[in-house]
């Protein structure tokens, strides 16, 4: 990194949206479908609105199911939905006349929270979808179609000392300006009165927040919204070409930033102690690098984010690290502790008599000059979204500073939103997380039968999984299947031959960078071979020892520093997939069986070494997992059938079934069940153990 880097020439620009309305498509749609079409078009265009952000409405005539008469119904986005991906059932539907009648219950801002409670009483047609908190903004405006969005270019105006003047300059009075007021019924009343007092205006900027605008048809409303955003973006872009963003560059980007992030993230994660472990997300996107490398970073980062949508995800302010001290664990610990102290002090300063208890005081956003942005949250999707929201906040600051000074939200206002009782109620309603949410697992041989079944089991319990395998194509198939089943955020894959030291190191670094660290290692990648001793070539011997002894050693050694750091957070777990043959001698498979025995003894040694660091090490010994295993597809099947003097086809499965004490098949899912238990806190008091999952085999009984 170079502290004397030259000042960069021009700032990054805002994306300028254009209408994507398709008349032919729209012609076939009914009124509510047109609202959905418009909403999806707006929400799926990230230049228009951020994830989940914004809400849309239409006042439509519907047939009352009770009277059969026609009634005005407000269709408005439901609470918590995302307009980009919502379906028709994501809208709340409410009797417009009842909504207007609610004003009888309102006597001032102190009634804001109470007013929310009346909304369900206005429900039309038993629609269970809860209405957005912004419903009064839509219902109290006398327009058929209303959009309320928070695109970066708009919030940049809304959060700048120069925003009101810019709004006048851009739209020449067609768009009004309303001072900051937190969302709720009072804002709806203020907006309605403002619009009534300014006839002819086509929209209103809501300071610190976003814009609301309207039109007579769905298409006109959509195009109006897109045009307003394009106007704002073009205006800001003209200003931004004139000077570098954020006072210019103070430091240049580190070439090895991905490696720095991989090294840093597990150490930060280990320091973020609290009731639950966190998942990390790293980004070095262009807007983040422009910001974290800038002269103005310390000043602007300290001001905090402005739009409520942003800071609910990001906390008000990020933690900024010193790029010269990233290797210094004591410095990191001090900075995180100081952040927590600042957060508690903010809570103490701002809390009200009925405020909910203080929430997790750890930072969500960590900015690293030269490297990028790291976000931590209770699950991977939330961590990624927090990062994306902070990128939005950066865009806002860049635009706002181009036309004046960026204005962050007043601290008490921010607190009142963060600790809003309604927000707390929403949190309380959330279902308890699955047991392994917050855990990160790496599974070697993840493309194979037992590896994939174990990964699926861990994913099903909520863990994030890094799949590794030397067979990249087969692994990609498994990964994409899991991404479809469990979501893209929670599964990653990296090709890695466990016998190759550099590849193993790289796989763990990738896991650290993708998820933030490691809690669980499932060492499973394996092969099998069968040959009498005189026919066991040195090459065959070495291949078994390479994969099963050296491979397990290399993966465990690479996992160690990541696992060791999590002692304070309850410890970590290593699971070796061993073999019945590790404890029961096998004729004609000495290379395989003795290499497996070496791996199992390695597990016992590591259980001793790991205990002081909270690392548990246990083994699952499978036997005869024929279905789903690729080992049994090849020579091993033929060779074992030969050894037992049976047909390698159906007879083989029957042979192994009958050989077991319980006379049952052993499936990859059975091994996965044991591995998952050993990986979980349910086995927190067990280390140095072996569990046989072999349908019973007296030779393998442990003693
Ligand atoms: P599998 O062949 O279906 O899966 C093993 C996976 O490991 C494959 O995807 C393979 O590509 C991968 N692999 C092999 N060598 C590798 C290397 N050097 N680097 C990275 N990846 C490598 O077999 P499975 O039955 O799922 O076996 C998984 C584990 O269970 C192995 O350790 C095996 O010895 C053990 N085991 C299996 C059985 C059984 O009956 N299937 C019995 C006892 C033990």
What is the distance of C-alpha 33 from the center of its chain? Answer: 30
What SS3 class is residue 372? strand
pLDDT tens column, 280-306: 999 999 999 999 999 999 999 999 887
| Atom from ligand 1 closest to the CA of residue 625 | 40
| Atom from ligand 1 closest to the CA of residue 546 | 18
Domain 440-625+667-694 in the same topology as domain 23-221: no
pLDDT tens column, 54-100: 899 999 999 999 999 999 999 999 987 889 899 999 999 999 999 99
Environment class of residue 108 by beta-carbon count within 10 Å: exposed (0-12), middle (13-18) or buried (19+)?
exposed
pLDDT tens column, 354-370: 999 999 999 999 999 99
pLDDT at residue 8 above 60?
Answer: no
Q: Which two tokens stand for residue 169?
A: 């300059």
User: Mutate which of 449, 476, 521, 526 to test ligand 1's pocket (most atoms within 8 Å of Cβ)?
Assistant: 526
| Atom from ligand 1 closest to the CA of residue 596 | 34
Region 445-472: mean pLDDT is: 98
What is the distance of C-alpha 676 from the center of its chain? Answer: 23
pLDDT at residue 421 above 80?
Answer: no
Distance between Cα 525 and ligand 1 center (Å)? 5
| Atom from ligand 1 closest to the CA of residue 548 | 32
Among candidates 523, 519, 682, 691, which has minimal Cα distance to 614? Answer: 519
pLDDT at 423: 73
Q: If you write DSSP's letter for every residue of 132-174 in order, what string do you get? A: PTTHHHHHSS--SEEEEE--HHHHHHHTBTTHHHHHHHHHTTS
pLDDT at residue 2 above 60?
Answer: no
**Structural Rg of the chain based on CA atoms:** 30
pLDDT tens column, 677-689: 999 999 999 999 9
Among candidates 519, 538, 520, which has minimal Cα distance to 529? Answer: 538
pLDDT at 49: 65
| Beta bridge pairs of residue 203 | 175, 213
What does DSSP assign to residue 660? S
pLDDT band at 673 (very low <50, low <70, confident <90, very high): very high
How is the chain split into domains, by residue range?
23-221, 249-429, 440-625+667-694
Domain 249-429 has CATH 3.30.70: no
pLDDT at residue 4 above 50?
Answer: no
Q: If you write DSSP's letter for every residue of 18-74 in order, what string do you get? A: -----HHHHHT--HHHHHHHHHHHHHT-TTT--TT--EEEEEEEEE-TTT-SEEEEE
CATH superfamily of 440-625+667-694: NAD(P)-binding Rossmann-like Domain (3.40.50.720)
Region 2-9: mean pLDDT is: 44
Distance between Cα 606 and ligand 1 center (Å)? 21
**Residue with CA at minimum distance from ligand 1 atom 9:** 448
**Residue with CA at minimum distance from ligand 1 atom 34:** 526
The residues that are catalytic are 592
What does the alpha-carbon distance between residue 88 and residue 124 come to, in Å, rounded to a whole number? Answer: 14
Among candidates 513, 512, 41, 46, which has minimal Cα distance to 287? Answer: 46
**Residue with CA at minimum distance from ligand 1 atom 42:** 623
User: Mutate which of 442, 448, 504, 546 to test ligand 1's pocket (most atoms within 8 Å of Cβ)?
Assistant: 448
pLDDT band at 7 (very low <50, low <70, confident <90, very high): very low
Among candidates 40, 49, 78, 76, which has minimal Cα distance to 426? Answer: 78
pLDDT at residue 3 above 60?
Answer: no
Distance between Cα 577 and ligand 1 center (Å)? 9
What does the alpha-carbon distance between residue 342 and residue 336 come to, in Å, rounded to a whole number? Answer: 10
Region 140-155: mean pLDDT is: 95
What is the distance of C-alpha 434 from the center of its chain? Answer: 15
Q: Which two tokens stand for residue 255?
A: 């070439």
Residues 6+ apart with CB under 8 A from 284: 253, 257, 258, 261, 371, 372, 373
Direct distance between the N- and C-terminal alpha carbons of the chain, in angstroms, rounded to an integer: 58
Residues 6+ apart with CB under 8 A from 576: 523, 524, 552, 599, 600, 602, 603, 617, 618, 619, 620
Q: CB within 6 Å of ligand 1 — which residues?
A: 444-445, 447-451, 469-471, 497-499, 524-528, 547, 551, 577, 579, 622-625, 629-632
pLDDT tens column, 464-489: 999 999 999 999 999 999 999 999 99
The CATH number fitting domain 23-221, selected from 3.90.1150.10, 3.60.15.10, 2.40.50.140, 3.40.225.10? 3.40.225.10
Q: Please state whether beta strands 55-63 and 70-77 pair in parallel, antiparallel, or not at all (unpaired).
A: antiparallel
pLDDT at 51: 62
What does DSSP assign to residue 586? -
Distance between Cα 461 and ligand 1 center (Å)? 23
| Atom from ligand 1 closest to the CA of residue 447 | 9
pTM here is 0.93
- The upper half-sphere exposure of residue 677, i.e. CA atoms within 13 Å in the direction of its Cβ, equals 14
More confident residue, 408 or 551: 551
What is the residue-averaged pLDDT of the chain?
94
| Atom from ligand 1 closest to the CA of residue 528 | 34
| 159, 549, 619, 636 from 526: Cα distances, Å | 57, 10, 14, 12
Among candidates 424, 370, 166, which has minimal Cα distance to 256? Answer: 370
Distance between Cα 673 and ligand 1 center (Å)? 17
Host H or E run for residue 574: strand 572-577
Distance between Cα 524 and ligand 1 center (Å)? 6
pLDDT tens column, 484-527: 999 999 999 999 999 999 999 999 999 999 999 999 999 999 99
pLDDT tens column, 31-66: 999 999 999 999 988 777 666 668 999 999 999 999
pLDDT tens column, 152-164: 999 999 999 999 9
Distance between Cα 576 and ligand 1 center (Å)? 12
Region 118-122: mean pLDDT is: 96
pLDDT band at 635 (very low <50, low <70, confident <90, very high): confident
What does the alpha-carbon distance between residue 473 and residue 665 come to, in Å, rounded to a whole number? Answer: 29
Q: Please state whether beta strands 440-444 and 464-469 pair in parallel, antiparallel, or not at all (unpaired).
A: parallel
**Residue with CA at minimum distance from ligand 1 atom 43:** 579
pLDDT at 271: 96
Distance between Cα 469 and ligand 1 center (Å)? 10
User: Mutate which of 525, 582, 633 to test ligand 1's pocket (most atoms within 8 Å of Cβ)?
Assistant: 525
Distance between Cα 648 and ligand 1 center (Å)? 19
Phi-psi region of 445 (alpha: psi -120 to 50; beta: other; left: phi over 0): left
The fraction of the chain above a pLDDT of 90, given in percent, is 83
| Atom from ligand 1 closest to the CA of residue 474 | 9
Among candidates 25, 34, 24, which has minimal Cα distance to 216? Answer: 34
């Amino acid at each position: 990194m170079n502290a004397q880097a030259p000042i960069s020439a021009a700032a990054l620009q805002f994306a300028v949206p254009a209408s994507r309305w398709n008349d032919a498509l729209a012609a076939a749609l009914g009124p509510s479908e047109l609202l959905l079409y418009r909403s999806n078009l707006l929400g799926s265009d990230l230049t228009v609105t951020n994830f989940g952000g914004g809400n849309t409405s239409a006042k439509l005539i519907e047939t009352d199911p009770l009277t059969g008469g026609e009634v005005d119904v407000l269709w408005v986005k439901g609470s918590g939905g995302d307009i980009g991906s919502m379906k028709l059932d994501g809208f709340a539907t409410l009797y417009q006349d009842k909504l207007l009648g609610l004003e009888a219950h309102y006597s001032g801002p102190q009634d804001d929270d109470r007013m929310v409670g009346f909304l369900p009483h206005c429900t039309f047609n038993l629609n269970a979808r809860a209405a957005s908190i912004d419903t009064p903004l839509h219902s109290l405006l006398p327009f058929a179609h209303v959009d309320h969005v928070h695109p970066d270019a708009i919030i940049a105006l809304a959060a700048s000392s120069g925003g009101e003047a810019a709004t006048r300059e851009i739209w020449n009075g067609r768009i009004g300006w309303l001072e900051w007021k937190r969302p709720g019924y009072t804002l709806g009343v203020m907006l309605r009165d403002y619009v009534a007092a300014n006839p002819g205006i086509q929209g209103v900027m809501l300071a610190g927040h976003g814009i609301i605008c309207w039109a007579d048809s769905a298409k006109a409303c959509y195009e109006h919204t897109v045009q307003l955003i394009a106007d704002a973006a073009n205006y800001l872009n003209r200003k931004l070409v004139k000077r570098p963003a954020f006072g210019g560059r103070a430091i240049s980007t580190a070439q090895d930033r991905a490696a720095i992030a991989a090294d840093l993230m597990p150490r930060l994660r280990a320091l973020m102690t609290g009731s639950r472990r966190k998942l990390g997300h790293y980004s070095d996107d262009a807007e983040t690098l422009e910001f974290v490398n800038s002269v103005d970073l310390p000043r602007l980062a300290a001001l905090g984010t402005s739009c409520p949508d942003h800071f609910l995800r990001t906390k008000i302010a990020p933690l900024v690290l010193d790029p010269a001290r990233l290797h210094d664990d004591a410095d990191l610990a001090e900075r995180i502790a100081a952040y927590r102290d600042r957060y508690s002090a903010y809570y103490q300063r701002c809390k009200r008599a009925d405020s909910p208890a203080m929430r997790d005081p750890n930072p969500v956003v960590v900015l690293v000059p030269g490297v990028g942005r790291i976000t931590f949250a209770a699950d991977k999707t939330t961590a990624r979204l927090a990062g994306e929201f902070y990128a939005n906040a950066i865009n806002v600051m860049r635009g706002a500073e181009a036309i004046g000074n960026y204005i962050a939200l007043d601290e008490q206002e921010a607190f009142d939103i963060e600790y809003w009782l309604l927000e707390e109620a929403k949190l309380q309603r959330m279902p308890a997380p699955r047991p392994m949410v917050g855990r990160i697992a790496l599974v070697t041989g993840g493309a194979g039968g037992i590896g994939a079944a174990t990964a699926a089991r861990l994913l099903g319990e909520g863990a994030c999984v890094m799949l590794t395998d030397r067979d990249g194509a087969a692994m990609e198939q498994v990964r994409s299947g899991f991404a479809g089943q469990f979501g893209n955020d929670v599964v990653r894959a990296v090709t890695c031959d466990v016998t190759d030291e550099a590849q193993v190191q790289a796989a763990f670094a990738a896991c650290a960078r993708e998820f933030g660290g490691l809690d669980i290692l499932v060492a499973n990648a394996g092969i099998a071979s069968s040959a009498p001793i005189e026919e066991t070539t040195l090459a065959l011997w070495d291949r078994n020892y390479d994969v099963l002894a050296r491979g397990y050693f290399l993966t465990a050694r690479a996992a160690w520093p990541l696992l060791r750091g999590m002692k304070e957070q309850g410890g970590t777990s290593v699971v070796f997939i061993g073999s019945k043959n590790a404890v029961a001698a096998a004729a004609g498979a000495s290379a395989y069986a003795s290499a497996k025995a070496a791996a199992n003894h390695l597990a016992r040694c590591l259980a001793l070494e790991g205990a002081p660091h909270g690392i548990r090490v246990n083994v699952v010994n499978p036997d005869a997992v024929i279905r789903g295993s690729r080992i049994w597809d090849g020579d091993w099947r033929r060779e074992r059938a030969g050894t037992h003097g049976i047909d390698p086809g159906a007879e083989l499965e029957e042979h192994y079934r009958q050989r077991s004490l319980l006379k049952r098949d052993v499936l990859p899912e059975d091994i996965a069940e044991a591995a998952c238990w050993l990986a979980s806190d349910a086995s927190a008091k067990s280390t140095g153990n072996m569990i046989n999952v072999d349908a019973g085999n007296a030779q393998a009984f442990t003693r």
